[in-house]
Amino acid sequence: MAAVGKTMAYGHSESGGGRGGFLGARVPAEVEAMARAVRDVDKETFRRLLKVTVNALEGKDCKESVKLIAESTNLSEEQLAFLISGMYTLLREALRLPLSTFKQEVFKEDLKELRIPEDFIADFSSIVFGNRRPVSEGTAQRSRLPSVQDFKWRVDVAISTSSLARALQPSILMLLKLSDGTAHRFEVPVAKFQELRYNVALILKEMNDLEKRSILKIQD
C-alpha cells in the first residue's frame, strides 16, 4: 500500500513523550496526527479504516478499499492516508511486542494518553489482544528467505570448443527467478545435476516423514 509508506512523517512531539509508552519516548508523528484527527471520525468509518489497516499489516493490497472509503465519506484520500498511516504504525508497534509481557491495560492506558476516544481504544485493543490478531504476512515475509517463483531450464550440448575439438558434452543451464525480484543463472554439470535431483527427492522424503511424525505427536 504505497500511500501508507510514503506519508510516514518523521519527527517528535511533546505530549506523551518522555513517558516511555509502548510507542517509545517519542511518539511517531503520524500516530500523533492520527490521534488528533480520529476524534472527528465516525465509528463506522473508523472501523472500515481499521479493517484496511489490518489488511495492510497482512501484506494485502488496499488501494481499492481506500478509494471506496474516500468515495463514501467526506474525507480526502490524503486525510485517509494520514489516518491509516498512524493506525498502521500504532498497531505494528503494538504487535511487535510479546504478549507475555505486554498487557492490555498498559496498551489502553497509553492510548488514553494520546486522547484517542474510548470506543476506538477498545477496537484497537481487540485487534492486538483478541482472536482477530493479524497473521502479519508482511512482517513474516521480511524475515523469511526468498523462494523460487519461476524456474526455466535448457539442456545444451557443447559440440566443439577452443580447447576440445570434439566435446559432445551435455550441460544444463538453469534460470531461477526469486520472490525478491532477483534472477540467477547458472550451469549445472551432469554429475552435479544428478546430485541435485537426489537431494531434492531426499528433501521431499524428509518433509513427508516429519509431517507424519508430528501428526502422531499431536494426536497423543
Partner 1 sequence: MAAAEQQQQPPPPPEGCRPLSALLGGIAQAAYYGKAGITEELLRRQLYPEAAPEEFRALRAKMGGLLQSIASADMDLNQLEAFLTAQTKKQGGITSDQAAVIAKFWKNHRIKIRESLINQSRWDNVLKNMNWRVDLKSQSRHIDQINTPVAIVEMELGKNGQESEFLCLEFDEAKVNQMLKKLSEIEESMTSLTQTT
Residues within the interface to partner 1 (CB under 8 A): 133, 135, 144-148, 151, 153, 155, 157-158, 161-174, 176, 178, 184-190, 192-193, 195-197, 199-201, 203-204, 206-207, 210-211, 214-215, 218
* Smaller CB separation from partner 1, 63 or 192: 192
- Which grid cell sits at 93? 508497534
- Name the residue among 43, 80, 75 with its Cα closest to residue 63: 80
* Smaller CB separation from partner 1, 5 or 189: 189
**CB 147 → partner 1: shortest distance, Å?**
5
* Smaller CB separation from partner 1, 67 or 192: 192
**CB 54 → partner 1: shortest distance, Å?**
15
**CB 40 → partner 1: shortest distance, Å?**
35
Query: From CA 81, how far away is CA 7, in angstroms rounded?
Result: 7
**CB 152 → partner 1: shortest distance, Å?**
9
Q: How many CB atoms lie within 10 A of CB 13?
A: 15
**CB 196 → partner 1: shortest distance, Å?**
6
β-pairing verdict for 183-189 and 169-178: antiparallel
**CB 91 → partner 1: shortest distance, Å?**
16
* Smaller CB separation from partner 1, 74 or 219: 219
Question: What is the maximum span of the chain, computed from C-alpha positions, in angstroms?
Answer: 83
Q: Is 115 left (phi over 0), alpha (psi -120 to 50) or beta?
A: left
Query: From CA 90, how far away is CA 82, in angstroms rounded?
Result: 12
In the numeric block, the cell 501484506 is attached to 59
* Smaller CB separation from partner 1, 29 or 97: 97
* Smaller CB separation from partner 1, 73 or 171: 171
**Nearby residues of 63 by Cβ (< 8 Å), 6 or more positions away:** 1, 2, 3
Instruction: Give the CA angle between residues 90, 40, 79 to the nearest 5°.
Output: 65
